[in-house]
Amino acid sequence: MLRLIICTFIISIFFSSCFKLEKTPLTEAHVNYLPPDYSLDNNWVALPWMEDVADLTPTSYIKNKQASAEVDVFYVHPTTFRNNRKWNGKLEKKGMSKYVEQASVQHHASVFNESCRVFSPKYRDATLNSYFTESEKAEQAFKMAYYDVRAAFLYYKEHYNNGRPFILAGHSQGGSHLISLLMEFEDSNFIKDKMIVSYIVGMPVFDKYFKRLKTCENEMQTNCFCSWSTFAYNYEPTNFYGGAVVTNPINWTIDGTYAAFNENLGGVGFRFNRVIPNFVDARSKDGILWIRKPNYLLGNFPLKNYHIADINLFWMNIRKNVADRIASFNRNLKN
């Protein structure tokens, strides 16, 4: 049984956690595990045929074009369950669906809705407190969360994909489950032939996790992955970040090339009501992404960790990059 545990201490206004990654195949020990029924629309936060928050855009001139999209995205939301008495969230928990929608899917998954149909499953995420203990129950909580994501992905593959190219995307805990998914299935024909790119955001990722998949080295490469974790300039990361893959989501380089403010096509604030050009600059350093303070986002709050804004800060650049990689993938198919 392969077991990876990734831990790093992160502090922000709303989020503080130690990341933990579990990659464990289903075994006899889990025969009683029953995943949600992903044939039910109610067990998804977003589906192309539902009216949901992934359909939204921050301004009227940016359009949701899922109806005509020829590519899908499978997006996994970050940690949303913060109960200190239970290990995993419940899909039917009152109020949780609204938090998942507004805090992540609206801001994150919507970035894909010009080029992709959006599929985002509900899952029983491990509680935030699971990051602060070595308890076996915490490990089981992450396993249950991963098995839900795994079941949703396999249901998507068998029933919704229908041979279409797709993108994988996830943030924070959602990103860790994507790593597990890719570790398990990276050699499958489905991943090798149909996956355009994977955006694994908000946690450190290392090349050694994968046998075949490589880091995207530029804005047009396909069947590869991008990853970044955003901090303030001059933040000195812990040794844990050393060697982590860092994609600059403004210029899509991985070599530390600086991207100026005027290269940022626009970020989206927490009110999700406008696009702000030249939002931040960015450069990679020691396994993290450095930015200068975005005055429009959090005012004068002395933030050093921009974990909760990993996607908002670069929203328009990501949106364009999705379209660029899809175009590149289609060109490669014709050659």
Residue 79 has pLDDT above 80, yes or no: no
Please choose, from the candidates 122, 176, 191, the residue with its C-alpha nearest in 3D space to the C-alpha of residue 10.
176
User: Which tokens is 323 given?
Assistant: 């379209």
Domains in the chain, CATH or no CATH each: 9-25+38-229+315-334 (3.40.50)
Mean pLDDT of 301-321: 89
The DSSP string of 160-225 is: I-TT--EEEEEETHHHHHHHHHHHHHTTSHHHHHHEEEEEEESS---GGG-SS-EE--SSS--SEE
Per-residue CA distances from 77 to 90, 223, 260 (Å): 14, 21, 29
Alpha carbons 321 and 250: distance in angstroms, whole number: 9
Residue 32 has pLDDT above 60, yes or no: no
> Percentage of residues in the chain with pLDDT exceeding 90?
58
Average pLDDT over residues 219-235: 94
Lowest-confidence pick of 7-11, 86-90, 142-146, 253-257: 7-11
| Mean pLDDT across 118-144 | 72
Amino acid at 220: M
**The two structure tokens encoding residue 109:** 């998954």
**Are the beta carbons of 129 and 85 closer than 8 angstroms?**
no
Task: Please say if the pLDDT value at position 83 is more than 80.
Answer: no
The whole-number pLDDT of residue 134 equals 63
Query: 330 pLDDT exceeds 50?
Result: yes
What pLDDT was estimated at residue 274?
92
